Amino acid sequence: MPTSEATGAGVPAVRMRAISKSFSGVRVLEGVDFEVLAGEVHALVGGNGAGKSTLMHILEGVYTLDEGEIEIDGSPVSLRSSQDASAHGIAMIFQEFSLIPTLTVAQNVFLTRESRNRIGLLDDRAARHRTRELFARMGVEVDPRAAVGDVSRAYWQLTEIAKALSREARILIMDEPTSSLAKSETERLFELIRRLQERGISIVYISHRLEEVFEIADRVTVLRDGKRVLTQDMDKISPPEVIEQIVGRKLEEQASEWRGTPIDRSGTPLLEVEGLESGPRVRGVTFRLHRGEILGLAGLMGSGRSEIARTLFGIDRRTGGVIKIDGRPVKIRSPRHAIAAGIALIPEDRRAQGLVVDHPLRDNLLLPLLGEVSLGPVINDARGTRIAKSLVERLDIRARSIGMPARLLSGGNQQKVVIGKWLGREPEILIMDEPTVGVDVGTKAEIVGMIRELASAGRAVIMISSELPELLAVCDRILVLREGRVEQELDRQEIPTEERLHQAVQGI
């Protein structure tokens, strides 16, 4: 682990002291201390609404602090804008990328700071040359001429890092950097992080994935309810101890004891899918789903998991096969048809597909319910407000008010809004695509409990997840997909360990 001596005279690269911040009279940070050493990876973890993003937005100059002080290399600084932060070598790589897909990698790296030739015209050749140099310093190979929209999400992450380094950033804030990466891509990102450490670059690593935190971080700080409750070296603490600090209580290990529930499969299935075809990644998929059952879809990236969900919900066109609900064939040509048939979809990308982020929390919750709260073109505001408040209470959504823009909610609370807006319609079949990506362990446990409650009430749930322990913690059956086909169908009772399911997914 890096020591404070690495910075010279024991001075941290960043020191934040007694930071406090309120919004509309609500205190979201209270007296928080946080520091990062040169060449250190310092993990920042906590539940949804704990204050992680607010603290980092203050360091990045997006928010101004109410109380406290910030030092960079031992000198007090005032960070009133992102430009101020950038001038002090601070850059934040957000979970939602800020790249333009139609531009090349090089053009994105130097966006708003384009190279120009002697007569003032854009010099793409110079930008490509400088981008190659940046990637060479990072120890990775990326084609600077490629359009960002044509490369994988892993290269988006590398492009964001190159953009930050092009501004001579010495302090990188990474917000859930692996949320959209495969395991092999995550390993390459960690190799890059270690190389950046060797160059003395400090990294604040925000993540809900504790296994990654313990692999890559030197120290961890836990925030809870806007206060710092722990800062500790990684080799002096265990994952269960970190979880206990995050949630404020001991969390039971659910996956090891869950073995599914008895399902009556003697009657007509609620959902039957026979020979479903759609594009290259849904090829002859057949399965049945009964009331009260939770069906998991597992598989490697590109196996067709999300494509099956999109086809069942009418987003992608079905080119073959039959879908039956309660034994009757249904034609689902659009999401409107799926909703009428009692199907709801919690999409993988909640911000792009599940929310209107600039609209209030209330409006997002009511989107699928406009017909129930309207009389012709007129919306019954009082009824809509009652419904929204009941869903906020039911899902324990943490927000200052139901008029708060959805983009200001934490990731876990945004996901609760996406789930809540469909629960208001009481769907018979709920499809959940990566429902716990980017949420903390406490919210993850809440969502798992919610899924079980829905099944106990007679609903049927299809759950897609890359987290195998999560599938084991909630599913009655698991379909293993490969190249758009069902490779195996496993009853939960047949899966004694996570290793067994991992082997099935890997085709071993």
Domain boundaries, the chain: 4-247, 271-342+427-506
232-268 tens-digit pLDDT:
999 999 988 887 888 775 544 444 445 566 788 888 9
C-alpha–C-alpha distance, residues 291 and 271, integer Å: 9
Token pair of 295 as six digits: 């069906």
Q: What pLDDT is stored for residue 236 in this prediction?
A: 96
CB atoms within 10 A of CB 135: 21
Q: Where are the beta strands (DSSP E) in 212-327?
A: 219-224, 227-233, 271-278, 282-289, 294-299, 320-325
Domain 4-247 belongs to what topology?
Rossmann fold (3.40.50)
Q: What is the pLDDT of residue 133?
A: 87
Q: Under a CB-based contact definition with an 8 Å cutoff, are residues 250 and 244 in contact?
A: yes
User: Residue 508 has what pLDDT?
Assistant: 62
**pLDDT digits 0-9 by tens, 447-474:** 888 898 899 999 999 999 877 888 888 9
pLDDT tens-digit series, residues 432-446: 998 887 777 778 888
pLDDT in tens, 295-327: 999 987 678 999 999 999 999 999 999 999 999
Return d(Cα 211, Cα 447) in angstroms, integer: 20
pTM: 0.60
3-state SS track over 303-321: CCHHHHHHHHCCCCCCCEE
- Residue 104's identity, in one-letter code, is T
Domain 4-247 and domain 271-342+427-506 have a common topology: yes
Residue 29: per-residue pLDDT = 95
45: nearest Cα among 174, 202, 196: 174
What one-letter code names the amino acid at 243? I
3-state secondary structure of 106: helix
How far apart, in whole angstroms, are the C-alpha atoms of residue 57 and residue 416?
23
Q: Give pLDDT < 70 ranges for the chain.
A: 1-10, 48, 95-97, 179-182, 249-261, 301, 376, 506, 508
- Residue-wise DSSP of 5-42: GGGSTT--SEEEEEEEEEETTEEEEEEEEEEE-TT-EE
- Cα–Cα distance for residue pair 78/345, rounded to 1 Å: 45
The fold of 271-342+427-506 is Rossmann fold (3.40.50)
